[in-house]
């Protein structure tokens, strides 16, 4: 959703962020972990020009006793990871607080609403938020939907699903009625446009069985994912590590309820292979699911909107090349540089290799593109 650390100043000027503004809504305490988190968010905001920490800071002021959650993730040589987690104030984070922050973001009751309409609401890890589950979670999603332009897109990213024996009648594959009354996510599923989980979480939530057989496992994953579609989710994405991912989309009737979703995805299903990494690549899976979910969301938003600009692509390209040479201050970058074109999407992916190939000659880079 944002660049993260800039590769260099020229890269940041030529490749604008894909998403105009990101607004973290979370509980941050007055502690070292909270200071570090805010510092990371603010540094990211300075680099990519699209992270707004104002509301996170405001929430921090409102609760002087809040503590920041902390996770320690050891990474093993084979790519597996462990997790030691302290929920801190996430253990008491409530729906009314999230809704209050949303109201502040949208300017509800204020004479100065936000300059940019809200397009998506991404919610992570309900199993780790005891007061944001079930009907409380459904209420948050309902309020989020009402606050977004044309209802926006609601995304739920799962993590922390408990590894416990199935508690539904008969065990085996879970039924749709039972999944709808799941105490954590059941009541909220009908509000969710994009749902992400990994295959281990799919097994825990549905009781499906994976044997290691490619054909049998693909059938089992497809069958289990369909349960969430029948509960009202529009798009279900299951990541499978080195085996890639599976994505299933609901029917036209469900997509009609979320105008921001691309209609070309209706009734689609696909298994996508993972990209092979070069030999010797250091494997670090931290944030892999988050990155996947963000990418899928952006793909949905771009495919729905298509970006059309009022001036020609050539004019934007020339402006960007000239600006990169002149080196403007961050505050001088105009909205024209934020427009998405095939050129700057290509540059976003290939700028580093093009710099090396063209010996840092920006006009040569432009010609090559």
Say if residues 145 and 254 touch (Cβ distance below 8 Å): no
Number of neighbouring beta carbons within 10 Å of residue 334:
10
Q: Return the residue matching tokens 């909107």.
A: 305
Contact call for residues 169 and 207 (beta carbons, < 8 A): no
Element (H, E) at 237: strand 235-239
User: CA 291 to CA 306: how far, in whole Å?
Assistant: 22
Pairing of strands 70-72, 235-239: unpaired
Residue-by-residue DSSP string for 74-116: -B-TTS-B--EEE-GGGGT--HHHHHHHHHHHHTTTSSS--SS
Give the β-pairing of 153-157 and 84-86. Answer: unpaired
Question: Which among 82, 182, 87, 192 is positioned nearest to 145, based on CA atoms?
Answer: 192
Give the model confidence (pLDDT) of 192-208 as tens digits: 999 999 999 999 999 99
Per-residue pLDDT of the chain (369 residues; tens, 9 = 90+): 544 444 444 444 445 556 778 999 998 999 999 999 998 888 877 766 788 888 888 888 878 888 999 988 888 877 777 888 899 988 999 999 999 999 988 888 776 666 678 899 999 999 999 999 999 999 999 999 999 988 999 999 999 899 887 777 777 899 999 999 999 999 999 999 999 999 999 999 999 999 999 999 999 999 999 999 999 999 999 999 889 999 999 999 999 999 999 999 999 999 999 888 888 887 777 788 999 999 999 889 887 655 433 333 434 333 444 444 444 443 433 444 445 566 666 766 676 777 778 877 777 777 777
Residues 6 or more apart from 58 whose CB is under 8 A from it? 101, 104
Q: Where are the domains of the chain?
A: 18-91, 94-164+171-274+285-305
Cβ–Cβ < 8 Å for 317, 368: no
Give, in words, the CATH class of 94-164+171-274+285-305.
alpha beta
37-75: b or e for each residue (b if 16 or more CB lie within 10 Å)?
bbeebeebbebbbbbbbebbeebbeebeebbbbbeeeee
* pTM as predicted: 0.78
Measured distance CA(177)–CA(328) in Å, rounded: 58
DSSP state for residue 81 in the 8-state scheme: B
> Are the CB atoms for 105 and 118 separated by under 8 Å?
yes
User: Taking Cα atoms as reference points, which of 254, 262, 259 lies closest to residue 297?
Assistant: 262
Q: CB neighbours of 59 closer than 8 A, spacing ≥ 6?
A: 25, 26, 27, 28, 97, 101
Pair 210, 217: CB distance under 8 Å: yes
Instruction: Supply 361's token pair.
Output: 């000659």
């Amino acid at each position: 959703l944002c660049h993260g650390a800039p590769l260099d100043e020229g890269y940041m000027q030529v490749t604008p962020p894909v998403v105009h503004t990101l607004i973290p809504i979370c509980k941050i305490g007055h502690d070292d972990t909270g200071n570090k988190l805010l510092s990371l968010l603010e540094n990211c905001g300075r680099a990519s020009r699209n992270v707004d920490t104002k509301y996170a800071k405001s929430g921090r002021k409102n609760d002087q006793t809040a503590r920041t959650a902390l996770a320690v993730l050891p990474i093993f040589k084979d790519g597996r990871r462990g997790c030691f987690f302290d929920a801190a104030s996430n253990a008491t984070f409530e729906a009314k607080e999230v809704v209050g922050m949303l109201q502040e973001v949208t300017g509800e009751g204020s004479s100065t609403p936000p300059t940019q309409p809200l397009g998506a609401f991404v919610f992570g890890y309900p199993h780790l938020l005891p007061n944001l589950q079930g009907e409380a979670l459904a209420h948050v999603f309902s309020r989020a939907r009402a606050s977004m332009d044309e209802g926006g897109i609601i995304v739920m990213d799962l993590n922390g699903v408990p590894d416990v024996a199935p508690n539904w009648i008969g065990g085996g594959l879970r039924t749709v009625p039972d999944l709808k009354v799941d105490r954590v996510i059941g009541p909220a599923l009908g509000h969710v446009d994009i749902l992400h989980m990994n295959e281990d979480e799919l097994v825990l939530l549905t009781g499906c069985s994976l044997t290691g057989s490619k054909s049998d496992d693909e059938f089992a994953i497809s069958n289990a994912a369909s349960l969430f579609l029948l509960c009202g989710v529009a798009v279900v994405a299951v990541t499978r590590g080195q085996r890639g991912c599976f994505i299933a989309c609901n029917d036209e009737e469900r997509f009609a309820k979320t105008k921001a979703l691309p209609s070309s995805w209706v009734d689609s299903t696909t298994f996508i292979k993972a990209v092979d990494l070069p030999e010797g690549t250091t494997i670090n899976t931290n944030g892999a699911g988050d990155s996947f979910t963000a990418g899928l969301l952006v793909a949905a938003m771009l495919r729905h909107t298509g970006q059309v600009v009022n001036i020609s692509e050539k004019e934007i390209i020339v402006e960007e090349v000239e600006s990169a040479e002149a080196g403007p201050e961050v505050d001088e970058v105009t909205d024209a540089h934020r427009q998405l074109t095939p050129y700057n999407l290509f540059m976003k992916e290939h700028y580093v290799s093009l710099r090396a190939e063209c010996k840092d000659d920006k006009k040569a880079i432009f010609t090559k593109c």
